[in-house]
């Protein structure tokens, strides 16, 4: 079912775009990534709205009083929390449900790029068996993996003075960090566990994706970078980018005091 509903259709759409842009797989990855971002934009906007509502809930004085009053009674606290959700019109799943829906799409996009970049005979056989028969898509296999200075089916390196520099891996880590940093919502309270986990992910995700970009096909690195930049553009359109978050804490405080 996963193959039929997600991976195969995405692989074929990627091949269609590849054909339309003159068999340039790098451009195909860029356009396909942007297309997926556009399609999932309403889900992301809903997720941001839900996260804002949850943050506002944490700052609600009535909720803070309820937390103090029922600190030792988890069952009563949960009942009061659900009652307040209902009164304020907050859906507790509105911030996580869109993410859950987007995750299969993101994984499917990842797998479709890997599949389209098939190199071994076994991978080519799997790709060929799933290609749609119309419009001559089977004739595009194997795809031309050359893009700019890269072979999209191999890890990317730039050689300078005898040193192999993984420029795409560095860009992946950098853009992932920037996107995470400037789009992270402010903590609802000093002891907000969600904010603490968010800060941890801001450090770990750039390293993790940078590792993938360093070791795996550079086509994935192109996808990561374009996805990060498109994500920044989406948040900017919604007015949810906090560029001051990139400044050191002392400079952020100075900037905030000037704004006041």
Q: Span 192-205, mean pLDDT? A: 69
Residue 94: phi and psi, rounded to 5, are -70, -25
For the chain, what percent of residues have pLDDT higher than 90?
12
152 pLDDT exceeds 50? yes
The pLDDT, as a whole number, for residue 197 is: 66
Q: What is the pLDDT of residues 213-227, one digit of tens each?
A: 898 888 889 988 998
184 pLDDT exceeds 80? no
The pLDDT, as a whole number, for residue 30 is: 93
The neighbouring-strand residues paired with 158 are: 165
Count the residues in the chain.
Answer: 260
The pLDDT, as a whole number, for residue 93 is: 62
CA dist list (Å): 258 to 93, 152, 170: 37, 47, 34
| Confidence category of residue 171, pLDDT binned at 50, 70, 90 | very high
Q: DSSP assignment, residue 244?
A: G
d(CA 141, CA 125): 10
């Amino acid at each position: 079912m996963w193959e039929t509903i997600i991976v195969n259709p995405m692989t074929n759409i990627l091949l269609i775009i590849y054909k339309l842009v003159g068999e340039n797989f790098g451009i195909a990855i860029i356009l396909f990534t942007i297309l997926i971002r556009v399609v999932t934009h309403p889900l992301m906007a809903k997720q941001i709205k839900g996260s804002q509502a949850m943050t506002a809930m944490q700052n609600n004085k009535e909720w803070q009083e309820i937390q103090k009053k029922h600190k030792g009674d988890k069952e009563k606290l949960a009942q009061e929390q659900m009652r307040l959700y209902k009164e304020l019109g907050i859906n507790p799943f509105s911030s996580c449900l869109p993410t859950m829906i987007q995750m299969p799409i993101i994984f499917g996009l990842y797998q479709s790029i890997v599949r389209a970049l098939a190199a071994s005979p076994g991978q080519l056989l799997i790709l060929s068996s799933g290609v749609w028969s119309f419009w001559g898509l089977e004739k595009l296999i194997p795809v031309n993996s050359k893009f700019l200075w890269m072979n999209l089916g191999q890890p990317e390196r730039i050689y300078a003075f005898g040193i192999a520099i993984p420029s795409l891996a560095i860009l992946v880590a950098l853009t992932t960090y920037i996107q995470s940093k400037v789009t992270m919502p402010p903590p609802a309270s000093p002891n907000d566990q969600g904010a603490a986990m968010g800060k941890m992910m801001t450090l770990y995700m750039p390293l993790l994706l940078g590792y993938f970009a360093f070791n795996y096909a550079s086509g994935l690195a192109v996808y990561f970078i374009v996805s990060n930049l498109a994500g920044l553009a989406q948040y900017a359109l919604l007015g949810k980018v906090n560029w001051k978050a990139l400044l050191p804490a002392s400079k952020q405080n100075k900037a905030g005091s000037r704004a006041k």
